[in-house]
Amino acid sequence: MDIRELRNCLGRFATGVTVVTCNDGGHCHGLTANSFTSVSLDPPLVLVSIDRETKAFDKLKDNRFIVNILSADQQETAMHFAGKTCEELPFEWNETEYGHRIKGSLAYVECEPWAEYDGGDHVLFLGKVVNFDYQDGEPLGFYSGKFSKIVQE
């Protein structure tokens, strides 16, 4: 199988963009992720699929995490947490009991660790939602390997 073509094929599934943050000792770690999925309402569960090669992988094990759902004007923030670190942070932090939230995000869900499943070169981290909030606004989209707009009818 041609893996690059498979990537191109799967990239036809348009998604939003999140930054998953968790505390590691005194530090906060964030990773841009579009694999975020809602799983269950009872109990309230969400999922992120994390590459075993990332730094986030070790930090998320048995740890609380926050999924920050990005708005259209947070593309620089998405790049910052995808390895293109900006010298000057393009956002502000909001510190909470569950870790660090990114101010100005469209929504956030704060999670307790629920389960981890083998996902090949990734691991599926399921979190139980313990707190959340959202606001109206334009989401940041990702389609075919590029950031994009999501237009509502």
Ligand X SMILES: Cc1cc2nc3c(=O)[nH]c(=O)nc-3n(C[C@H](O)[C@H](O)[C@H](O)COP(=O)(O)O)c2cc1C
Q: Which residues here bind ligand X, judged by CB under 6 A? A: 17, 31-35, 49-51, 54-56, 78, 81-83, 142
The span from the first CA to the last CA of the chain, in angstroms, equals 37
- Smallest distance from ligand X to CB 120, Å: 12
Q: Which residue has the tokens 């101010």?
A: 103
State the sign of the Cα–Cα–Cα–Cα dihedral 104, 107, 111, 116.
Answer: negative
E strands in the chain: 15-16, 18-24, 27-33, 37-41, 44-51, 65-69, 93-96, 99-102, 107-119, 122-134, 140-143, 146-149
In the complex with ligand X, the residue whose CB is nearer, 56 or 102, is 56
- Smallest distance from ligand X to CB 42, Å: 25
In the complex with ligand X, the residue whose CB is nearer, 53 or 153, is 53
- Smallest distance from ligand X to CB 48, Å: 6
- Smallest distance from ligand X to CB 19, Å: 8
In the complex with ligand X, the residue whose CB is nearer, 47 or 129, is 47
